[in-house]
Amino acid sequence: MVTAYDYPSAVHVARAGIDLILVGDSVAMVELGHETTQEMETDDMVHHCKAVKLGLEFVKSGSMLVGDMPFGTYEYEDTDIALRNAYRFVKEGGCDAVKLEGGSVARAKTARRIVDGGVAVMGHVGLTPQAISVIGGFRAQGRTAVRARELLDDALRLQDAGCFAVVLECIPANVAAAITETLEIPTIGIGAGGGTSGQVLVFHDMLGMLSHPQHDQFVPKFCKKYAQVGLAIQGGLVESGVFPGEDYSPYKMTEEEQAIFERLLQKDAEHRRRQHEIAAKKLSQADEYETLKLYGDNNSNNNNKGK
């Protein structure tokens, strides 16, 4: 599974034959510049899901599309709220399934309600980024025996609730392997070793989208970079001073039409020069007026002088 957040990334991922495509709420961090994923709303996620869906349709891809339900859209005791939001991902965003974070009893109840409502659900345990204010930041989970056993219980609870797969994020490899061996449904690891049923990586991280010759944007320790796309982008954007040139100026006039055009220009050259001077003067005067306005309301100052 690989993330995609827009039409171009969806086309690339689908053409690569990736089985599952996740429109992750990580879009908040890697595309929108936020420090966490918590800022995303359902409208935001549906917007990105629509774009990714169009990319999959363009490629005629059979990849499964999963949408991340954002923070604050499914945690309520009234599970019908979660179901209504899940329906939006399917009906408006074109998703085949939604993903929820957490494996508590309450979360399993929500997952069961959504599944019973006809929407497939992927679970997610371990590091759950939406809950960083509770777990103390982006920290690995399951590194004590007790907590590791709790993660197994969380995963089993999600399986019993009807989830078709569970993401295991930032947990020790042996813990992920034990959970994978115990479950009947697939596990998808991210920073969880190679013993899971599958893997998920963020599009921008694995391709080095934010690589730069002078610095390297933070990338999680568990993420292998398969390319340095950022360097290629930087190279392509550097101005060389030779564009467009003749090769990229394809639209030509015939010599006859060019001669006629030049004669037309000569006829009203003096008129165009005068119009240019008038326009330049007007712009200069307008600029002076705006500059004066920076020091306050001129009208109000004049009025005060008479008092």
Q: Are strands 165-169 and 187-190 parallel, antiparallel or unpaired?
A: parallel
- Distance between CA 66 and CA 232 in Å, rounded? 30
Tell me, yes or no, if 77 is annotated catalytic.
no
List the Cα angle 195/198/201 in 5-degree steps.
110
Catalytic one among 35, 57, 75, 169?
A: 169
CA distances (Å), origin 271, targets 107, 266, 278, 284: 75, 10, 11, 20
Residue with tokens 């408006």: 92
Which amino acid is located at 13 in the chain?
V
Write out the catalytic residue numbers: 169
